[in-house]
């Protein structure tokens, strides 16, 4: 059964340190709402993945955390050659301060090539990667509020390192996979994002890092219902993203 989760359920659930990974956040990640929010967002992903595959019914998502295989199990084998991963609660032993869920092609670690939903809570500025060019929140997340981003991230060096250690594809193939994400971003930039965001997407592309990041309108945790913006964003982006990920996973791209 899909988890029933409402904005008011998250009211008062605030990480002690909303700015970074910290042992102080352990009670926050051990709260059942940490798992429930991931399950809720994973199901939103599945609502867009299922029709892409051709399914009329939407199954429960099989979230992964640790990745132990060279190639992850696809959602529907070759019919859906990608997987859903939820962020670990305590990466490197320090409890998280945000919640995110990723979709990735089955031949890459989700951290290196991903379509994600990422949520921040009271006091957060979303400046969790100071070396990155992505924008931070100003003002920070306010009390009884949640801020969610939807985006794409792809890192060429990380993909090359993962491939050298795990997949052992020809390097030219990895370069071609990275180029396919560049093509995807070009396609995504044509979408009218004003239907679900009050600001244009943040877009950054260079020889290594590719980012397409949309900040959704702030979600009040005093509301009984969710803003529709997240569902609208996923509906607008998913087909293009899944097409690109399938090309990468099934190696339909020539160097």
Give 93-109 pLDDT, tens digit per residue.
Answer: 999 999 999 999 999 99
Cβ-count burial of 202 within 10 angstroms (0-12 exposed, 13-18 middle, 19+ buried)?
A: middle
Assess contact for 86 and 42: CB atoms under 8 A.
yes
Residue 167 pLDDT:
83
Determine the Cα–Cα distance for residues 181 and 105; give it in Å rounded to an integer: 12
Question: Distance of alpha carbon 159 from its chain centroid, rounded?
Answer: 17
Q: Is the whole-model pTM more than 0.75?
A: yes
Average pLDDT over residues 198-213: 94
- Residue 142 is given by DSSP the state P
Residue 166 pLDDT:
87
Question: Distance of alpha carbon 145 from its chain centroid, rounded?
Answer: 20
Q: Name residues whose C-beta falls within 8 Å of residue 147's C-beta, 6 or more positions apart in sequence.
A: 119, 120, 124, 126, 137, 141, 215, 216, 218, 219
142-167 pLDDT tens trace:
999 999 999 999 999 999 999 998 88
Q: At residue 50, what are phi and psi to the nearest 5 degrees?
A: -55, -50
Cβ-count burial of 220 within 10 angstroms (0-12 exposed, 13-18 middle, 19+ buried)?
A: middle
Determine the Cα–Cα distance for residues 166 and 183; give it in Å rounded to an integer: 25
What rounded mean pLDDT belongs to the chain?
Answer: 94
Determine the Cα–Cα distance for residues 148 and 7; give it in Å rounded to an integer: 12
Q: Does the structure show a pLDDT above 80 at 42?
A: yes
Average pLDDT over residues 81-96: 94
Residue 132 pLDDT:
75
Q: Does the structure show a pLDDT above 70 at 68?
A: no
Alpha helices in the chain (DSSP H): 26-30, 32-53, 156-162, 171-188, 229-249
Determine the Cα–Cα distance for residues 64 and 110; give it in Å rounded to an integer: 10
Q: How many residues does the chain have?
A: 255
């Amino acid at each position: 059964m899909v988890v029933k989760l409402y904005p008011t359920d998250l009211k008062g659930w605030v990480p002690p340190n909303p700015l970074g990974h910290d042992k102080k956040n352990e009670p926050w990640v051990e709260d059942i709402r940490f798992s429930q929010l991931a399950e809720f967002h994973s199901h939103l992903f599945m609502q867009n993945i299922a029709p892409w595959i051709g399914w009329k019914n939407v199954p429960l998502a099989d979230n992964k955390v640790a990745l132990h295989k060279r190639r992850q199990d696809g959602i529907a084998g070759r019919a859906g050659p990608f997987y859903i991963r939820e962020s670990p609660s305590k990466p490197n032993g320090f409890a998280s301060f945000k919640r995110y869920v990723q979709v990735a092609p089955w031949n890459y670690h989700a951290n290196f090539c991903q379509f994600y939903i990422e949520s921040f809570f009271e006091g957060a500025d979303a400046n969790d990667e100071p070396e990155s060019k992505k924008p931070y929140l100003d003002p920070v997340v306010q009390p009884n509020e949640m801020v969610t981003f939807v985006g794409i991230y792809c890192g060429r060096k990380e993909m090359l390192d993962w491939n050298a250690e795990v997949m052992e594809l020809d390097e030219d193939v990895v370069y071609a996979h990275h180029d396919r994400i560049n093509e995807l971003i070009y396609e995504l930039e044509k979408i009218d994002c004003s239907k679900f965001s009050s600001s244009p997407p943040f877009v950054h592309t260079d020889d290594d890092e590719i980012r397409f990041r949309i900040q959704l309108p702030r979600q009040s945790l005093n509301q009984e219902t969710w803003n529709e913006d997240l569902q609208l964003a996923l509906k607008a982006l998913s087909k293009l993203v899944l097409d690109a990920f399938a090309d990468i996973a099934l190696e339909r791209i020539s160097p």
